[in-house]
């Protein structure tokens, strides 16, 4: 039986992610765990999370999970969600600066307090909370069956700014364009919450559960 | 392409059953929260709010079970409120599958609770619910006061000052209910909605008074709300969530219409 590990490092509500994976997983075993051995033995890995990046990386290091994540991101289908996407970059501006895992080159930046809609001039609230469109910038197995510009559910005040444009797989506009999805080889990571994005999100998670890790 | 304005049906739950009678066609068990949640999800609801109006402690265990059951079948954000007083209460609901927790009376009783909750669980999951009532006499500029206990108990707190303070403490969203309009079907208190929406930089959900689809448009356009919450117009089957969204779209408001997104490339 196929298995997926949802990495539990004590930040955020992982129950939603696990429930959605169970819903689309065709009987796959879904393990919410911080056990490095169990994570390494799983067929695929989901790295979720909400909160601050500095706390996230500190917890990963304390639990010995940073190396596990680096290894899994090299050799099996790997999905980062929200903070789990931001944590894959080099560095974040959050709280005066924090290092990420450096799996993708680039920075994590905050939305400005003075964020405005460039067309209407209207003030945009931070966090960016709610349903925004995602423009798929290139085909990918995880986009299969999801209409171009579908809406996904976002909740975040920081966003990833990857250094390599070729690693961006989707963009969203909130005051300005930002990377809603990055992808390279067997790794895919999204800023939005597929587990809370109804049909479009479930389709993406179902694609992930069927993905062989080849782009 | 911007952020969609959200439509959020609200379910009052007592001892695990939806009350205030849901009456739409095709529901076998009108009191079953899971069936109703699934129906709203199919109609395109952007989120769901569950308010636990159970008085007893045992009833709260039932609420956690309801949330767990809904969360296993409905994959949109779920907010749970009513009787949340401790970080233990929050943890229990999050573990059951809630995404956001609405805090009302407990915030008034001890504002630091909001700060503690936001630090522990993240601002994104802490919604501060505010029940507002207009005070002051004729001819004076409008002013609103925070009330608790369903609008019966005055707190002396000014609503605009209160929401600013709550955001400073870490509230990620404000659920604003006009107690003057709640249940009247006369529409939102638009001046109140506008005052609060302009005062804070986090999303504001307008609630209380929706009687028709035009009220939803007003709440967003005139009130400046980021999301609109309604109960009776959806429960009684007068309108579906999708009809409400199409009405907003026809008035130039950006909404998520799942039925338009289903077609694969």
Instruction: Give pLDDT tens digits along chain B (265 positions).
Output: 589 999 999 999 988 888 875 665 666 677 889 999 999 999 999 999 999 988 676 777 889 999 999 999 999 999 999 999 999 999 899 989 999 999 999 999 999 999 999 988 888 899 999 999 999 878 888 899 999 987 889 999 999 999 999 999 999 999 999 999 998 999 999 999 999 999 999 999 999 999 999 999 999 999 999 999 998 899 888 899 999 999 999 999 999 997 766 544 3
Residue B22: the pLDDT is 61
Residue B191: the pLDDT is 97
Residue A194: the pLDDT is 98
Kindly indicate whether the ipTM for this predicted assembly is greater than 0.90, answering yes or no.
yes
Average per-residue pLDDT in chain A?
94
Q: How far is B142 from B151, CA to CA, in rounded Å?
A: 18
Residue A128: list chain B partners with CB under 8 A.
3
Residue B25: the pLDDT is 61
Task: Verify whether the Cβ–Cβ distance A127 to B258 is below 8 Å.
Answer: no
Q: Which residue has the higher pLDDT, A52 or A48?
A: A48
Query: Torsion-angle region of residue B93: left (phi > 0), alpha (psi -120 to 50) or beta?
Result: alpha
Residues 6+ apart with CB under 8 A from B141: none
Residues 6+ apart with CB under 8 A from B114: B103, B107, B126, B128, B166, B169, B170, B171
What is the distance of C-alpha B117 from the center of its chain? 19
Residue B265: the pLDDT is 39
Strands (DSSP E) found in chain B: 6-14, 17-18, 48-52, 78-81, 100-103, 126-135, 143-148, 153-158, 173-178, 204-207, 227-230
Task: Verify whether the Cβ–Cβ distance A130 to B97 is below 8 Å.
Answer: no
- DSSP code of B186? S
Burial of B171 (0-12, 13-18, 19+ CB in 10 A): buried
Residue of B nearest to A113 (CA): B201
| Average pLDDT, integer, range A100-114 | 95
- DSSP code of A63? T
Residue B229: list chain A partners with CB under 8 A.
none
Between A145, A173, A201, which is nearest B2 by CB?
A173
**B72 Cα to chain A: minimum distance (Å):** 6
Confidence class for position A48, pLDDT limits 50, 70, 90: very high
Burial of A40 (0-12, 13-18, 19+ CB in 10 A): middle
What contacts 24+ positions apart, CB below 8 Å, involve B211-216? B211/B184, B211/B185, B211/B186, B211/B187, B212/B185, B212/B187, B213/B239, B213/B243, B213/B244, B213/B247, B213/B248, B214/B187, B214/B247, B215/B187, B215/B188, B216/B7, B216/B244, B216/B247, B216/B248
Say whether pLDDT at A154 is over 50. Answer: yes
User: b/e string for B69-82 if b means 16 or more Cβ within 10 A?
Assistant: bbbbebbbbbbbbb
Between B71, B172, B173, which is nearest A19 by CB?
B71
On whether any CB of chain B is under 8 Å from the CB of A138, the answer is no
Residue B110: the pLDDT is 97
Burial of B62 (0-12, 13-18, 19+ CB in 10 A): middle
B215's enclosing H/E stretch is helix B213-221
Q: What six digits make up the tokens of B135?
A: 């005070």
Residue B162: the pLDDT is 98
| Residue B186 designated active-site | no
Residue B19: the pLDDT is 83
| Average pLDDT, integer, range A14-42 | 94
| Average pLDDT, integer, range A105-111 | 96
Is B188 strand, coil or helix?
coil
Relative to beta strand A128-133, strand A78-81 is: unpaired
Residues 6+ apart with CB under 8 A from B120: B87, B90
| Residue A22 designated active-site | no
Say whether pLDDT at A195 is over 60. Answer: yes
Say whether pLDDT at A103 is over 60. Answer: yes
Q: What six digits make up the tokens of B206?
A: 């307008």
Residue B24: the pLDDT is 59
The answer, yes or no, to whether the previous bond of B169 is cis (omega within 30 of 0) is no
On whether any CB of chain A is under 8 Å from the CB of B156, the answer is no
Q: What six digits make up the tokens of A32?
A: 């919410």
pTM here is 0.94
Chain B interface mutation, best of A84, A151, A206, highest count of B Cβ atoms under 10 Å? A151
């Amino acid at each position: 039986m196929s298995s997926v590990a949802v990495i539990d490092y004590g930040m955020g509500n992982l129950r939603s992610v696990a429930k959605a994976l169970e819903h689309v997983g065709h009987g796959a075993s879904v393990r919410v765990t911080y056990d490095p051995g169990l994570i390494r033995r799983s067929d695929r890995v989901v790295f979720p999370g909400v909160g601050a990046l500095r706390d996230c990386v500190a917890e990963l290091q304390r639990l010995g999970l940073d190396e596990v994540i680096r290894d899994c991101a090299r050799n099996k289908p790997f999905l980062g969600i929200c903070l789990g996407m931001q944590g894959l970059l080099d560095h974040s501006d959050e709280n005066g600066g924090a290092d990420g895992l450096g799996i993708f080159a680039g920075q994590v930046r905050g939305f400005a307090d003075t964020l405005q809609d460039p067309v209407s001039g209207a003030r945009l609230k931070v966090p960016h909370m709610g349903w925004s469109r995602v423009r798929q910038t290139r085909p990918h197995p995880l986009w299969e069956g999801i209409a171009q510009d579908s809406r996904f559910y976002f909740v975040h005040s920081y966003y990833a700014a990857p250094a390599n444009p070729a690693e961006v797989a989707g963009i969203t506009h909130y005051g300005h364009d930002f990377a809603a999805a990055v992808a390279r080889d067997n790794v895919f990571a999204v800023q939005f919450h597929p587990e809370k994005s109804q049909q479009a999100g479930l389709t993406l998670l179902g694609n992930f559960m069927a993905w062989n890790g080849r782009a | 392409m911007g952020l969609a304005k959200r439509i959020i049906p609200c379910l009052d739950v007592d001892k695990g059953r939806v009350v205030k009678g849901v009456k739409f066609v095709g529901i076998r068990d009108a009191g079953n929260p899971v069936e109703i949640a699934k129906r709203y999800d199919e109609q395109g609801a952007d989120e769901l709010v569950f308010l636990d109006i159970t008085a007893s402690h045992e009833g709260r265990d039932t609420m956690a079970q309801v949330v767990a059951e809904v969360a296993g079948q409905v994959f949109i954000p779920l907010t749970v409120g009513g009787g949340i007083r401790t970080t233990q209460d929050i943890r229990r609901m999050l573990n059951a599958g809630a995404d956001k927790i609405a805090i009302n009376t407990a915030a008034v009783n001890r504002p630091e609770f909001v700060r503690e909750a936001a630090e522990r669980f993240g601002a994104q999951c802490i919604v501060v619910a505010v029940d507002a009532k207009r005070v002051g006499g004729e001819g004076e500029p409008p002013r609103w006061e925070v009330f608790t206990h369903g609008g019966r108990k005055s707190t002396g707190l000014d609503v605009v000052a209160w929401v600013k303070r709550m955001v400073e403490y870490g509230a990620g969203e404000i659920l604003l209910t006009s107690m003057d309009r709640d249940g009247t079907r006369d529409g939102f208190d638009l001046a109140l909605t506008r005052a609060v929406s302009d005062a804070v930089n986090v999303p504001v959900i307008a609630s209380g008074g929706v009687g028709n689809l035009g009220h939803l448009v007003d709440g967003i356009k005139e009130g400046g709300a980021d999301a609109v919450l309604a109960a009776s117009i959806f429960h009684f089957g007068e309108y579906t969530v999708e009809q409400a969204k199409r009405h907003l779209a026809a008035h130039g408001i950006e909404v998520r219409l799942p039925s338009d997104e289903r077609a694969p490339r």
